[in-house]
Chains A and B, each alone.
Chain A
Amino acid sequence: MGKLWVIFVASISIILPFLCNSFSPETPTDRRVLVLLDDFAIKSSHSLYFNSLKSRGFDLDFKLADDPKIALQRYGQYLYDALILFCPSIERFGGSIDLAAIINFVDSGHDLIIAADANASDLIREVATECGVEFDEDPSAMVIDHTSYAVSATEGDHTLIAGDDFIKSDVILGSKKIDAPVLFQGIGHSLNPSNSLVLKVLSASPAAYSANPKSKLSTPPSLTGSAISFVSIVQARNNARILITGSLSMFSNGFFRSHVQKAGSPTKHEKSGNEQFLTELSKWAFHERGHLKAVNVKHHKVGETDEPALYRINDDLEYSVEIYEWSGTSWEPYVADDVQVQFYMMSPYVLKTLLNNKKGLYSISFKVPDVYGVFQFKVEYQKLGYTSLSLSKQIPVRPYRHNEYERFIPTAYPYYGAAFSMMAGFFIFSFVHLYSK
């Protein structure tokens, strides 16, 4: 007890200097992570995973989930930057943590990793539902797959599944291909297809279904096929990232080290893909990859340098923005060719792809349309796995002033001539009239 207390104080005093460079917009990688466990055995049985995190510079704080002293925030300040919930069977958190506290934690921009298991409690399921992921309602169901199970010692146990239906994204899973399948044993979840914030990272094969492995199947299972997701990610609108999986044992040392052979396939991989998969995924979840920031939005008329307060129709203008990506340690220029800017007034009048100079500066020049009104420069960039960029800058566009039209219109010369001839005629006529008898 005293030891724990000393450790606690020490960790706090170590953390304090890092308060200024913990999670902040300048250095978005998380630093302090609270890990809630069902019991401390997990700390050792999942040590490979935790060590990989520590080696990247994270401060892990292990606590029992019902420890009465745990708290996410004190006096309005958050004590941690991320939360890992490896406590699938917890009914009630200790201390001041509860469902609302976790949700507020996420809503204030912090990341979350949740691992459920076959005995997942209602609370964990609630947290997952709040994030947009729905675990199977049957508390005793597990995912069973009779065609993609991993060949294992226990015969007929098809709950240990070798999944290899990965999402195709270098940002999320790293550039190196994961050769070996990933071992999974736990409950499955499904996503609402109309929910645009959640993504399936590892989906089940079409033959999978979720049912109680110990009892006979009486009714057709509700969750079947590729709708089942093993591992999902959620990127909230404030760019908080959540990783949800239904198998805590996926993170275990045993699964990391074991060999895997998918049923029906001859290859036997020496090492499962779990370590690579989960390490890369954690990198994504903790903002070491795929985190963008856009700064220095500038616009000006072609040929000038300062920003005008409003434009005129048919002006030529230039728009530029700088986008950087966080590499885990520093901001690197982000290079892509699909960033677009809209000149928007209830619908985009101009839509242009920004050209980049490979150093993070994106710019384009275009002509203001012939319509006046209050426009916006809108950049809405939502790429799979990257943080969403949503920039908008309002600028009015005015019509021509009365002296900005053409001064003399050639087709109107006859009219000018007629008017002047009238004046001349009047002049002459008045002379004639006055002086004629």
Chain B
Amino acid sequence: MAAPEASSAAVPTLMTNNTLRNAFGGVLSFFILLLIGVLAFSIRLFSVIKYESVIHEFDPYFNYRVTQFLTKNGIYEFWNWFDDRTWYPLGRVIGGTVYPGLTLTAGTIWWLLNSLNIPLSVETVCVFTAPIFSAFASWATYLLTKEVKGAGAGLTAAVLLAMVPSYISRSVAGSYDNEAVAIFALIFTFYLYIKTLNTGSLFYATLNSIAYFYMVCSWGGYTFIINLIPMHVLLCIVTGRYSSRLYIAYAPLVVLGTLLAALVPVVGFNAVMTSEHFASFLVFIIIHVVALVYYIKGILSPKMFKVAVTLVISAGLAVCCAVIAVLIALVASSPTKGWSGRSLSLLDPTYASKYIPIIASVSEHQPPTWPSYFMDINVLAFLVPAGIIACFLPLSDASSFVVLYIATSVYFSGVMVRLMLVLAPAACITSGIALSQAFDVFTRSIKFQLPGLSSNTEVDAGETSSATKEAQNDAVKTEKAEETSKDRPSRKSKKKEREHVEKPSTKTKAEKKRLLALPLEASVISLLLLVFLGAFYVVHCVWAAAEAYSAPSIVLTSHSHDGLHVFDDFREAYAWLRHNTDVDDKVASWWDYGYQTTAMANRTVIVDNNTWNNTHIATVGTAMSSPEKAAWEIFHSLDVKYILVVFGGLVGYPSDDINKFLWMVRIGGGVFPHIKEPDYLRDGQYRIDSQATPTMLNCLMYKLSYYRFVETDGKGFDRVRRTEIGKKYFKLTHFEEVFTTHHWMVRIYKLKPQKNRIRGKTKKSKSKTSSTSSSKRSERGLFRHGNVFGGKEAQNQFCISSILGLVPCATTGPPKRQI
């Protein structure tokens, strides 16, 4: 550290002053980080406070069940677990199809706590895993941003990440899903990569590979890392920033990372065979070529080097082209060019809707709307562009990485709303950089202009300024003057500053500073406004966490004039199943409810949320779209005993099976061509009222949803579709209703067993047996009738004029049984 040419006597005091300041700063930042962790943890507890400590949604129930199995049976059983209670009758090899990171993490925490004699239940550990790891994630963000721009930016970014709503939405207490630990692993891996890049130490490269392994264990989104890092390496090479640190950062990661990724059973050989990983291998080869070129350039004279270059280019080009042609032929021979369906749908957003209806039907896979950006990252949407610019001045390897990260994640978040989650850390990092730079400028302007403090020019001289600076001062919130410094800039706090002096004399610097400092009042006001910006962000985040993202979705609430209504129908139905059916009974429902059924009702299901077998799901979809007899045949062949249907028409719950029905038709029709979507639409519109098509009115889903629905209000008014239903009075011939929950949200039906006798074809004559309806006059076998469907066929009553002309015709009013 070069000491400025001030009086030598001032140097020791300066040094002690600065070390004191550094120490104080270190302690302060430690406590700030602790508080950030507490903040991240507690803001996610709204769901526990408002509802209860329960696992949310669908996927977390599966993870919870797997964790239960792990804690009960140990890791070897978990590794080899063959689950026969799902995807009946195919079963599912859990050990090889699940990302084990989350369950192993929670299992380890539980085991650790239990061995310390803290008896927390597995459910509690699962519910609170996500908030704990979000605290870790904000600390990782601090570390990452510190590597890029310095501690002040780090703290700002950490605070922003602790509260950003899009991350909260997937890591609230109870949301026990892969992303809870995966985002932490993502940020941590990136931090270690940048650290290796900055220091060139092989130790951090090893840690980087291990963190990458943890990421592969946790989430399918690890392909983002293994494509982003090669892109960044390529970018560095292309922009002439190749250095041996880059090689050390990248090459061991590829080798070790591929090996470690292949260790995880879910990934297995995909780590080397699918196109998602080819980018890393390609860049691996490229970096070796570049390294070789640089090495040869280093040991040869320039003239010889030119010769070498021309030689290699002429000879090597042909070889290169041949190799590339072979590779392209190999990759192009597979229909999807080696990419998996989900990855392809990321690159080409229209791919899924054309070819794979299942992927297109998941609501998380739809593109986000513009307002959802503001909802999910709020104020950061404005700060990100400023942060990008701040990364360019000056451009280092780390800041170019951040720019690349934010650019790619913005693209991907625009394709799939689920990937807004990957955008969140990038947005927080760049906004943190921007905010801390802004604070930096303003506080230094203030400090510079306050008397008494400006004499410490040596201290002020910690900042350098480049010639290319624009110091506008028009708008206060949006325009920020950029400061550049090659070293770590000042902290967030106004009082402490570090001293790193690298540039020339302080006098010119001070002069430059005087020219480029902002006026005092402007700085103060803009500082205040920035604080308001932050406050607005905080308020929005807390509101989003409390109101929007804390709903467990297994329990619904609604406010009415007489208080809070709680709809606990799902758990009611699963408890009924659990207590009133045999252990080996099979339950068929749409795949959304599979995980919850196996976890809470403990019954075998046919399809569940894993959606790995399209044909099986299409079978269930076809059954739901077929008439009763055909559906009975399909379900009987699958040994199904009970059918579960979700219906929201009575209470206005919009995510019920009738709304999802068209997807069932599409998915079923994709495999069984006799199911055609236009058959269910009237003039291209999806209707269930009297204008609906006969196919729609006769399909199983319609019948099971609306059976006896007219008894609730006499008219059969569906609150979700906002019409009266088309066919109101009908009987079920092959199914019988066994349970309907309190608000009619879940309805359970049983398959009727096969008839004991097969009836002859002669129509039934009038029966003289016990009949409870009105008008009985038994005529003795003089004539037979057509089909008299006992019951209330008010609409379809037709008049059979008897030969004796005895009974008047009833077209309206209560139906009478005619003879």
Contact = CB atoms under 8 A, between A and B. Distances in A.
Do A and B pair up? The answer is yes
Interface of A: 91-92, 98-100, 103, 106-107, 121-122, 125-126, 128-134, 137, 192, 195-198, 234, 236-238, 240, 310, 345-346, 372-376, 394, 396, 398-399, 401-402
B758 interface: yes
Interface in B75-121: 79-80, 82, 84, 88-91, 93, 95
Contact of B757 (A122, A197, A399): A197
A132 B760 contact: yes
A402 B81 CA distance: 10
B796 interface: no
B722 interface: no
Contacts of A394: 584
A374 B84 contact: yes
A202 B95 CA distance: 62
Given A132-B759, A394-B584, A372 B93 contact: yes
25 contacts: A91-B781, A99-B767, A99-B769, A100-B770, A122-B781, A125-B762, A128-B760, A129-B759, A129-B760, A130-B760, A131-B757, A133-B760, A134-B761, A195-B758, A196-B758, A197-B757, A310-B82, A345-B89, A346-B637, A372-B93, A373-B91, A374-B88, A375-B89, A398-B80, A402-B79
A234 B289 CA distance: 84
Contacts of A396: 82, 84, 91
Contacts of B241: none
A20 B768 CA distance: 35
A130 B768 contact: no
The 10 closest A-B pairs by CB, nearest first: A398-B82, A396-B84, A122-B781, A129-B760, A374-B89, A134-B760, A401-B80, A195-B758, A236-B756, A374-B84
Interface of B: 79-80, 82, 84, 88-91, 93, 95, 584, 637-638, 754-762, 764-765, 767-770, 780-781
A197 B88 CA distance: 31
A401 B760 CA distance: 54
Contacts of A198: 758
A357 to B, nearest CB: 31
Tell me what chain B mostly uses at the interface: helix, strand, loop, or mixed.
loop
A15 to B, nearest CB: 26
Given A98-B770, A372-B91, 13 more contacts: A98-B769, A107-B757, A125-B762, A128-B760, A130-B760, A132-B758, A192-B758, A196-B758, A236-B756, A236-B757, A237-B756, A374-B90, A398-B80
B93 A399 contact: yes
A126 B769 CA distance: 12
A343 to B, nearest CB: 12
A107 B756 contact: yes
Contacts, number: 92
A401 B654 CA distance: 44
A240 B79 CA distance: 51
A238 B769 contact: no
A55 to B, nearest CB: 31
Contact of A238 (B80, B756, B761, B781): B756
A399 B769 contact: no
B780 A373 contact: no
B755 A237 contact: yes
A240 B780 contact: no
A130 B84 contact: no
A238 B754 CA distance: 10
Contacts of B758: 132, 192, 195-198
Nearest to A126: B765
Contacts of A346: 89, 637-638
A188 to B, nearest CB: 14
B765 A192 contact: no
A234 B757 contact: yes
Nearest to A347: B637
B759 to A, nearest CB: 6
Contact of B762 (A92, A129, A310, A402): A129
A375 B91 CA distance: 10
A154 to B, nearest CB: 30
A193 to B, nearest CB: 11
Contacts of B780: 91
Given A99-B767, A126-B765, A345-B89, A402 B759 contact: no
Given A107-B757, A132-B759, A240-B756, A402 B765 contact: no
A428 to B, nearest CB: 20
Contact of A372 (B82, B762, B764): B82
Contacts of A91: 780-781
Contacts of B95: 402
Nearest to A234: B757
Residue picked from B754, B759, B760, B767, most chain A C-beta under 10 Å: B760
A243 to B, nearest CB: 14
Nearest to A195: B758
B84 A402 contact: no
Contacts of A130: 757, 759-760
Nearest to A400: B80
B281 to A, nearest CB: 20
Nearest to A374: B89
A237 B756 CA distance: 5
Contacts of B768: 92, 98
Given A91-B780, A99-B769, A402-B80, A106 B759 contact: no
A134 B781 CA distance: 16
A378 to B, nearest CB: 11
Contacts of B756: 106-107, 236-238, 240
Contacts of A125: 762
Nearest to A130: B759
Nearest to B766: A122
Contacts of A236: 756-757
A265 B768 CA distance: 48
A401 B768 CA distance: 66
Contacts of B80: 398, 401-402
A122 B88 contact: no
Contacts of A345: 89-90
A128 B760 CA distance: 8
Contacts of A126: 764-765
Nearest to A240: B756
Given A134-B762, A374-B89, A100 B757 contact: no
A106 B757 contact: yes
B89 A132 contact: no
A192 B758 CA distance: 10
A423 to B, nearest CB: 15
A399 B82 contact: yes
B765 A122 contact: yes
Contact of B90 (A100, A103, A240, A373): A373
B84 A192 contact: no
A134 B353 CA distance: 54
A92 B754 CA distance: 30
B764 A374 contact: no
Nearest to A238: B756
Contacts of B638: 346
A240 B756 CA distance: 9
A236 B757 CA distance: 5
Given A91-B780, A122-B765, A396-B84, A374 B757 contact: no
B170 to A, nearest CB: 32
B622 to A, nearest CB: 15
A99 to B, nearest CB: 6
Contacts of A99: 767, 769
Contacts of A195: 758, 760
Contacts of A310: 82, 84
A100 B93 contact: no
B638 to A, nearest CB: 8
Contacts of B79: 402
Contacts of A192: 758, 760-761
Given A92-B768, A394-B584, A137 B760 contact: no
B74 to A, nearest CB: 13
B266 to A, nearest CB: 14
B398 to A, nearest CB: 32
